Amino acid sequence: MPLQIMVFLCVAILMACSVNSTSNQLVDSESGWLVPQSKVRDGGPGPDGIPAIDNPVFVSVDQVSLDLDELVVGIKIGDQVRAYPHNILNWHEIVNDNFSESNESVSLSYCPLTGSSLLWQAFDESSDKTFGTSGLLYNTNLVLYDRETNSLWSQMLQQSINGNQISTRPIKLTAIETTWQTWKAMYPSSEILSEDTGFSRNYQRFLYGSYRSDNSVYFPVDNQDDRLHRKKRVLGFNSEKTSPYKDGTTHLIMTPQEFLQKLAALVPRPRLNLIRYHGVLAPNAKLRSQVVPKTIDENPTEVSIDDEFQLGKLKQYIAWARLLKRVFNIDIETCPY
């Protein structure tokens, strides 16, 4: 069962790759919408009122001065690594980009009202492979439109909800959301989206005021849940599950800490009795005694590495650190820095 993970604000209540597909969800034949048309809201700016970035400019890590705790969306395709800061995405919501080394065209979308970021592969058969902002919202989440057919796409449903492409799902690619400090440490040679976007915007200001921390929502949402603060960042799972669990559960919502706890619980405990050793480490190997340490002597005698073996017999206990140094020339007792 394909499992996708998204990070987003729980107000709307993240990545395996898949191919373009058509959902078996029912389309309202009268309205031509995959979702209730009455729940699709006009966000105000109109089509492209929030301009997408179609010609992104990138700079090196040492050319930006982001706060270390600033969130970024990171993408790695082939050997090309790029970061897209939230403070720019808040103002544009879509970046249509191309990774030249692999000739991969992509569209990165970010919705500041739900805190969700998703990466879609461009449609190969399209003459115009880009997306724009429609000015519409569904469950207070971004609705995109593709510039080839003008079909409308729900970001978090990851599906076209109106137009010629209705029910079609895009090819989803992996994007990572993390802090600038973490991303920079992981990929010090990463490129980063420049504030030279061609638009005059104050990227140091969050245009929605206190929205990220207060408990308000600008538009109605279907599901109300008070277990967490509305703006708490959570991990969302899209498992394409068609039927609920026995207790009626259809969605899982958890904090990042809860997710890691459950993930760790799936890792089996070490089972030493099932480990098989081969070669000189095999139980009956003649040379095993020469490479496996004997019982630790509380007061071992210091000897040189050259004198550790005599006539094929181990003179004394040799710590694993010394064995690593002797056999592989790896000194784990010395800090490399």
**What pLDDT is recorded for position 114?**
92
**What pLDDT is recorded for position 9?**
57
Encode pLDDT of 55-70 as tens digits.
Answer: 999 999 999 989 999 9
H-only helix segments in the chain: 86-92, 180-186, 256-265, 288-291, 320-328
CA distances, 30 to each of 24, 33, 238, 264 (Å)? 17, 8, 29, 48
Indicate if the pLDDT at residue 6 is higher than 90.
no
How do the domains of the chain map onto residue ranges? 4-264, 273-328
Contact assessment for residue 206 and residue 90, using Cβ atoms and an 8 Å cutoff: yes
What's the whole-model pTM score? 0.68
**What pLDDT is recorded for position 297?**
52
Encode pLDDT of 26-42 as tens digits.
Answer: 555 567 899 999 999 99
Please name which of 121, 78, 77 lies closest in space to residue 96, comparing C-alpha atoms: 121
| Averaged pLDDT for residues 260-264 | 73
| Averaged pLDDT for residues 183-208 | 94
Please name which of 189, 199, 248, 251 lies closest in space to residue 223, comparing C-alpha atoms: 251
Indicate if the pLDDT at residue 89 is higher than 50.
yes
**Mean pLDDT across the chain, nearest whole number?**
80
**What pLDDT is recorded for position 289?**
79
Strand partners, 158: none
**What pLDDT is recorded for position 197?**
95
How sure is the predictor about 308, in pLDDT bands with cuts at 50, 70 and 90? very low
